[in-house]
Structure 1
Amino acid sequence: MKFISFFFLAFSSLSFAVSPKCDAPTSWAPSMAYVYLTNHNVIKKDEVDHSKTVVNRMASEKIGNDIYRQIHHVSFKLKTGRVVEVITSNDASSEECSLGTVDVFLISTTYSDHSA
């Protein structure tokens, strides 16, 4: 019983590192993806319905001391109903979602087999 008490006392102050939460539509990666898409004339600033932007974190891997590489799937819903999708890759920490540049990959076509 003393061992269990010591164990909880010794480790109660440790905080376990968790992957940063950078998957809000207004976070660094989706915001930079929007800027890249508008700068390259893929979309126009006034045609995106920002309230319908969806961001899903696909992966987050620790690559250093409190540094994580995160991959997000971002869907921008246009007012016309069309959806523009990208995959983003960026580094983040528990303090900051913007530890560098964001790589943006435009998804041109998606293939699915819904019969499976």
Structure 2
Amino acid sequence: MRKQLKSALFFLALTPLFASAKNSSNDCHSWPMNMAEVWLKNSGFIKIPDIDESRTEVKLLSSEKKPHNLYTNIFKFVFYTKDHKKFEVITQNDASDDECSITEVNSYLVSHSSINY
């Protein structure tokens, strides 16, 4: 009886991990990140090869579930360039369980700074 209780508690503890694995909103950052980079390039802020991708920061700020298995995702990206510039960008787009690029990406520059070492 005690062994069954331990097994049941173990699987109950793992349930949130399995439940959140299906929600693709958390792993749909590549589409808005790439579009934010292109937007920064087209706006004249950067050249894409100048981005230090190893330092790029990604944070999902919000994911709102909508009808038909759609999500509106809000991400914050922090891009660093090799010449010590920092760009904080907020993006908004819709994704589904199967596709990250359901809608275009709206990008907003929050801050731009130069880091002096």
Question: What is the CA–CA distance in structure 2 between the aligned matches of 1:96 and 1:52, rounded to whole Å?
Answer: 26
Normalised to the residue count of structure 1, the TM-score between the two structures is 0.72
Kept in 2: contact 1:55–1:74 (CA 8 A): yes
Residue deviations 1:34-55 (CA, integer Å, cap 9, x gap): 0011011111122111121111
Give 5+ residue unaligned stretches, structure 2: 1-17
What residue in structure 1 maps to residue 25 of structure 2?
20
Aligned-pair Cα RMSD in Å: 2.1
Change (3 A) 1:33 1:105: same
Identity %: 37
Which structure has the highest strand share of the two?
2
Give 5+ residue unaligned stretches, structure 1: 1-14, 111-116
SS at the partner of 2:46? coil
Aligned AA (1:43) = I
Aligned AA (1:88) = T
- Give the paired residue count: 94
Aligned AA (2:99) = E
Which structure has the highest helix share of the two?
2
